[in-house]
Structure 1
């Protein structure tokens, strides 16, 4: 009870959440190895390891408790795994989808240009 009451009084920075985004992972790392590394800091709800050419070397780790996620982020940033130093960040949806939005807007703009015969290339 004392632990829960103490945690209730702690104010975390706004970017802290239960989902961690990990970069600079060895390409051959497995979900089981991720559970071994990150599970030391608390109960994990889910691990997703990137498996496409664009997402290799990255993973998401979702903790049950936000304080466990913060503890893992604090302790595992810079952790050496197979001579690679992990980059552990808090997942931020607004940043992750910003790039998709830019690509989508460019595609819409290109369609509009084609529809109205606008050519913006210099001659």
Structure 2
């Protein structure tokens, strides 16, 4: 499972997030999605930690916290739904 981190500064990078979340346990992976056209971070990230207990501690401590002049939104990441086949059509005859 991973943690969704939203409302991030566009200046944030993986190292910044790794440093903050490491205070709550071992960080396995940090992913900061970037815009395909501009290459800039999109303002959110996903953090994967070694244990669920560490994730819970980080969520409790950081959700709503001020960091880089932003109020963080931190919660359990929801599984991504595969909507690639939707395409705006309902596939009825």
Give the alignment's TM-score, normalised by structure 2: 0.83
Greater helix proportion: 1
Greater strand proportion: 2
User: In structure 2, how many angstroms separate the alpha carbons of the residues matched to 1:82 and 1:33?
Assistant: 10
Which of these two proteins has the greater Rg computed from alpha carbons? 1
Give the alignment's TM-score, normalised by structure 1: 0.64
Match runs of 1:25-104 below 5 Å: 25-52=8-35, 56-93=42-79, 96-97=80-81, 100-101=82-83, 104=85
User: In structure 2, how many angstroms separate the alpha carbons of the residues matched to 1:81 and 1:50?
Assistant: 19
User: In structure 1, how many angstroms separate the alpha carbons of the residues matched to 2:47 and 2:4?
Assistant: 7
Q: Where do 5+ consecutive residues of structure 1 fail to align?
A: 1-17, 117-123
Q: Where do 5+ consecutive residues of structure 2 fail to align?
A: none
Aligned length: 90
User: In structure 1, how many angstroms separate the alpha carbons of the residues matched to 2:33 and 2:67?
Assistant: 16
Over the aligned positions, Cα root-mean-square deviation in angstroms equals 2.3
SS at match of 1:105: coil
SS at match of 1:61: strand
User: In structure 2, how many angstroms separate the alpha carbons of the residues matched to 1:77 and 1:56?
Assistant: 19
Higher relative contact order (CA 8 A, sep 6+): 2
